[in-house]
Chains A and B, each alone.
Chain A
Amino acid sequence: MRINVLGLGNTMFGDEGFGVEVIRYLEKNTDFPENVHLIDGGTQGIYLLDYIESADYLLVFDAIIPVEYDRQVYLYKNDELPGFIYRKMSSHQVGLSELISLARLQNKVPKDLILIGIPPADLNMGVGLSDTVLALVPTAANMGIDTIKSWLNGKE
């Protein structure tokens, strides 16, 4: 069983780097067995496909724009994640939804796919998260840790 934990985002643009910061937090504060892979995915787009397809269980952290702002940290499972994409001008514009769509086409979707996201407070250029989002990193990480543990314990 392979569990991939993927942090997405651009660390040069404030809260855009949320997903990567959670990975750094998990690297420091957890000690999972070898089949749990913590991956700083940055904004690698299509080059991350292998981390989607190679996973039996996939956990993704990313900055998101929710439909309704009714929570601080959002968790979406499997079919709640859309697999659509937009026309794009650059091969660099490949987001999570497109990766999932590609994985579906290849029949290589993880058994379980969970996205934990926060809406960004500040996207201005600059290294480091805003205080608001930084304070949510442990919360989001702990939700992720619970998810990973449940996979490891075979409850999902």
Chain B
Amino acid sequence: MAKRIVVDPIPRIEGHLRIEAKLDENNVISDAYSSGTMWRGLELILRGRDPRDAWAFTQRICGVCTTVHALASVRCVEDALGIDVPTNARIIRNLMNATQQTQDHLVHFYHLHALDWVDVVSALSADPKETSDLAQAVSPSWPKSSVGYFKDLKVRLTSFVESGQLGIFSNAYWGHKAYKLPPAANLMAVAHYLEALEFQKEIVKIHAIFGGKNPHPNYVVGGMACAIDPNKDTAINIEQLNQVKRIIDQTQTFIDQVYIPDLIAIAGFYKDWAQWGGGVGNFLSFGDFPETDVDDPSSLMWPRGAILNKDLSTIHDVDPHSLSEIREEVSHSWYSYTDGDEKGLHPSEGQTNAKYSGPQPPFEHLDVDNKYSWLKTPRWKDNPMEVGPLARVLIGYVKGVPMLVDTVNHVLKTLDVGPEALFSTLGRTAARGIECKQTSGFMRHYYDQLVANIKKGDYQTFNNEMWNPDQWPKEAKGFGYTEAPRGALGHWIHIKDKKIEDYQIVVPSTWNASPRDSKGRSGPYEAALKGTPMENPEQPLEVLRTIHSFDPCLACASHIFDVNGDEITSVKIS
């Protein structure tokens, strides 16, 4: 092999996450601090631009979930200008959103989070016969479960590892005592890691069909940019709809026969994780998947609401338009507000004045008593809130959303635990799988809706009534929301003289990774890490398990401190 040159692609930029955790004398995490160490001032880039272009810029914020920002952005402009989108556009947006959710959850589980629970090196010592027996017991209908299949995989994996190309599996904590799966289960999981890798490539083809291209599918204020005509080659036609249907069939099969059985099988070995990682116990969802009107919360397939103090008897109403409910504080964030940093501001009146007051890098510790993060601190009715799959599943479960309730009960019953087990790292990870099953069902639901609507002769995808800026009011404000895979996402726009006067975005990871608020209360990551015992602080696998369970939209460096506050190890992720 030729000389190796290190080519280091620039880290993909979405902000970086740093966790500082304090340990007590028993290596239990006594306190934790979460810091976004990179400034995101996207709002400033949007000022002065055409509101109809905002989606194309905002979809570049996040490396991966481009469509969610595009969706929230077109919705906020439509809200400001009073635009109703055609039925087909609503359905296609829902279908693309369900596709994104499904693919994102699948990739998160297998290609990031699974390696926190699955020991790849242990898989090399698995017996293929035993693995085959296990796979057939776990998922009797899934065909890829023969002895020969696992034998071949073991050979391939062994030669990959022995060639020194541990590659994707290098730099992990293999052999860590916190890994509990037997070798056969590890080998089965690695097989599914690779199968999921192949499969996820198919799912997203739906975005290319409806968005014109992928990555970065096209959205448009007023509808969708794709034309529908069952008989034309240049439009969405029968052939393409059939392809979408095939992908949906395969997706549901994969989720039902691989993801859910794996989730339950793996979770069975880690039931102790139902006691750690619970977090703040407050949950928020804006809701999504409008059946009729995006402005009507009662039409949302994912209900809107909030849970406080783990109290599953009450779902609180949420009004994201209300200026009094959501506030962003900067008491521990490197920003300043013109009227003082003590009082939070609603995002529609938000300010993005960066003011770094932390230590100059390289530094050992953040000054956690003062400001220590580039993330603001969003609060709902003054409470720190967790957003994401667990929030949505809990709210949907309490509200009795059909099928979701069945899946939750099935998982809980199989694992022989009660609903309280959901308030944990394990619960968060299970919720993502439960939700993935639900969204793969949504894909079919919206496909059926779309076909039915086209059969009625409705081909309209775009409402151009307000496309011309001359028709716009001199000034308008709007709110656009979606539930991204990681949780509630809000875009707030202020349009003045046909241009963007102000634009504020509150992303899910800001809710979850937020620093302390003005009252000193921890954010969800910070709270979730407290009380977790660590097997070996030099290898902070437990921190990764809990932080990964939130599916952070951030690059991260995790720093572990011992009781004296000295840094034991730093796990840099670039």
Which A residues contact B (CB, under 8 angstroms)?
Answer: 8-13, 16, 39-50, 53, 62-67, 74, 76, 78-98, 101-102, 104-107, 115, 117, 120, 123, 125-127
Contact = CB atoms under 8 A, between A and B. Distances in A.
Interface in B21-36: none
Given A8-B9, A102-B197, A42 B107 contact: no
Contacts of B467: none
A94 B573 CA distance: 11
Interface in B530-574: 544, 547-548, 551-558, 571-574
Contacts of A104: 160, 165, 167
A19 to B, nearest CB: 9
Contacts of A42: 60, 63, 66, 215-216
A97 B42 contact: no
Nearest to B3: A80
Nearest to B558: A89
Given A45-B63, A74-B7, A105-B160, 13 more contacts: A10-B63, A47-B204, A64-B9, A85-B171, A89-B552, A89-B555, A90-B14, A90-B556, A91-B112, A95-B11, A98-B167, A101-B165, A127-B57
23 contacts: A9-B10, A12-B57, A41-B215, A43-B14, A49-B197, A67-B6, A80-B2, A82-B4, A86-B574, A88-B112, A88-B555, A89-B548, A89-B556, A90-B17, A91-B107, A91-B112, A92-B12, A92-B554, A95-B11, A101-B165, A104-B167, A105-B160, A125-B42
A58 to B, nearest CB: 15
B499 interface: no
B245 interface: no
B201 interface: yes
Interface residues of B, number: 65
A94 B104 CA distance: 14
B197 A79 contact: no
Contacts of A74: 7
B41 interface: yes
B554 A16 contact: no
B573 A13 contact: no
Nearest to B64: A92
B62 interface: yes
Interface in B129-152: none
A106 B193 CA distance: 11
A85 B112 contact: no
Contacts of A88: 112, 555-556, 573
A115 to B, nearest CB: 7
Contact of A115 (B7, B44, B194, B554): B7
Nearest to A18: B10
B380 interface: no
B172 interface: yes
Nearest to A60: B9
A87 B573 contact: yes
Contacts of B167: 83-85, 98, 101-102, 104-105
Contact of B60 (A11, A49, A91): A11
A12 B551 CA distance: 23
Contact of B171 (A43, A83, A86, A115): A86
A22 B461 CA distance: 32
A95 to B, nearest CB: 5
Nearest to A10: B13
Contacts of A11: 60
Given A84-B170, A105-B167, A79 B1 contact: yes
A85 B194 CA distance: 17
Given A44-B64, A90-B556, A91-B551, A64 B171 contact: no
B399 interface: no
B39 interface: yes
B215 A47 contact: yes
B327 to A, nearest CB: 25
The listed residue with most B CB atoms (<10 A of its CB), out of A39, A43, A44, A49, is A43
B10 A63 contact: yes
B339 interface: no
A117 B5 CA distance: 13
A40 B108 CA distance: 23
Interface in B183-197: 194, 197
B200 interface: yes
B553 A16 contact: no
* Shortest Cβ-Cβ A-B pairs, 6 listed: A89-B556, A43-B63, A101-B167, A50-B201, A91-B112, A44-B215
A44 B217 CA distance: 12
Contact of A85 (B2, B6, B60, B168): B168
B198 interface: yes
Contacts of B201: 49-50, 53
A106 B555 contact: no
A104 B1 CA distance: 15
Contacts of A41: 215
Nearest to B157: A105
A92 B553 contact: yes
B31 to A, nearest CB: 20
Contacts of A93: 11-12, 555, 573-574
Contacts of B180: none
A94 B9 CA distance: 10
Contacts of A95: 9, 11-12
Contacts of B573: 86-89, 93
- Of A46, A80, A126, the most chain B CB neighbours within 10 A belong to A46
Nearest to B8: A65
Contacts of A46: 64, 107, 111, 197, 200
A95 B11 CA distance: 8
B556 A91 contact: no
Contacts of B171: 84-87
Contacts of B63: 10, 42-45, 92
B194 A106 contact: yes
Contacts of B553: 90, 92
A143 to B, nearest CB: 16
B61 interface: yes
B45 interface: yes
Contacts of B10: 9, 16, 62-65, 120, 123
B8 A80 contact: no
Nearest to A93: B555
Nearest to A83: B167
A113 B1 CA distance: 15
A82 B61 CA distance: 27
A9 to B, nearest CB: 8
